[in-house]
Structure 1
């Protein structure tokens, strides 16, 4: 069975990525970033965000180590840069600037691509974790099948969480969504600081 599919590796990859990418935790951030969108636009944004995240994860799983080696970039540097970017996004959520950008009729930035698709969903943690699993895999068909199916399963969970965010939006109303957005911004800021702290620790250990 393990020659075709390794259930233990599947469970390990799925649980790890599920915890890092946190489908339930993306709902308030998704609502905050898409608060000014219609239901149809929000559903399209969910699909686009998951597609972008899947593309980024798969790209780094296949080519990530080669790209970082070629550009002389360490995993710690990738983690630190992602943390700084997430911190900027958290500040916009906390101050309400993200809602102002979404409400602007001249806004040309598609938040489904950036920052939702990456680095919120396909962030440094998920990228690094995926690269580690690929590096530790034996290269057998069973390992690759397990890793691929686990990645797809996590992204299906992400899509379902955001797809039904409309139900949550109808329950919370606009004022409740704003409140949840501020809380999500605070939590996102904490995650960003932790990413930066972990990166600094890795830099110190490498020195």
Structure 2
């Protein structure tokens, strides 16, 4: 394998790891699945990762075509993702995410907000699209990018798969504290996404 491909793979992997942040998803995952049994939590982790993987691969392959067809800019997409995350953060801060409702105990939590926009958010989608833009788009380059994406999602699954161990250590009181902290962190991330989108919009004016 050429040094260029190695650099492409390592860069793509590290960029997505930093953006998708497998360790950082644990407190939010615990908060959103606090009312679930162990088997349900494992199923939610698997579904969330599969949804995120599907979204990331779809945008990696067809993202530029989708954006151009819909006449949607990257900042607009980023701002919408930030607003969605902000709503989730408010639920975590107010304790609504802990209420045992159908949306909190069923598959919907794995789809939204876990699968997207928490895991497959605007940052991860744009990063995967840029990896393609910065490559020579050869079959080998595509393969390296896909392997990097798969490895990142494997890390995400492992982090959430063993979140139950953390839950047993922290107990309910500890999870409540972590939930509030996760809400604040997620709110900060959401505001940053919106701010970056506004700045990008301002530069185009």
TM-score computed with the length of structure 1 as normaliser: 0.95
Aligned-pair Cα RMSD in Å: 1.5
- Aligned-pair distance for 1:34? 0.2
Q: 5-14 or 37-46: which moved more?
A: 5-14
CA contact (8 A) 1:2 1:142 kept: no
Task: State the match for 2:2 in structure 1.
Answer: 2
- Aligned-pair distance for 1:137? 1.4
Task: Indicate which of 93, 101, 105 corresponds to 1:104.
Answer: 101
- Aligned-pair distance for 1:140? 1.3
Task: State the match for 1:192 in structure 2.
Answer: 190
Is 1:11 equivalent to 2:5 in the alignment? Answer: no
Deviation >2 Å, runs of 4+: 104-109
Task: State the match for 2:168 in structure 1.
Answer: 170
Q: Which aligned pairs between 1:41-80 and structure 2 lie closer than 5 A?
A: 41-80=40-79
- Aligned-pair distance for 1:111? 0.2
- Once residues 115 and 14 of structure 2 are traced to their aligned partners in structure 1, the CA distance between those partners, rounded to angstroms, is 20
- Once residues 54 and 45 of structure 1 are traced to their aligned partners in structure 2, the CA distance between those partners, rounded to angstroms, is 14
- Aligned-pair distance for 1:143? 1.2
CA contact (8 A) 2:56 2:128 kept: yes
Gaps of 5+ in 1: none
Aligned length: 204
- Once residues 46 and 184 of structure 2 are traced to their aligned partners in structure 1, the CA distance between those partners, rounded to angstroms, is 26
Question: Residue deviations 1:53-80, cap 9 Å, x none?
Answer: 0000000011111111111000000000
Gaps of 5+ in 2: none
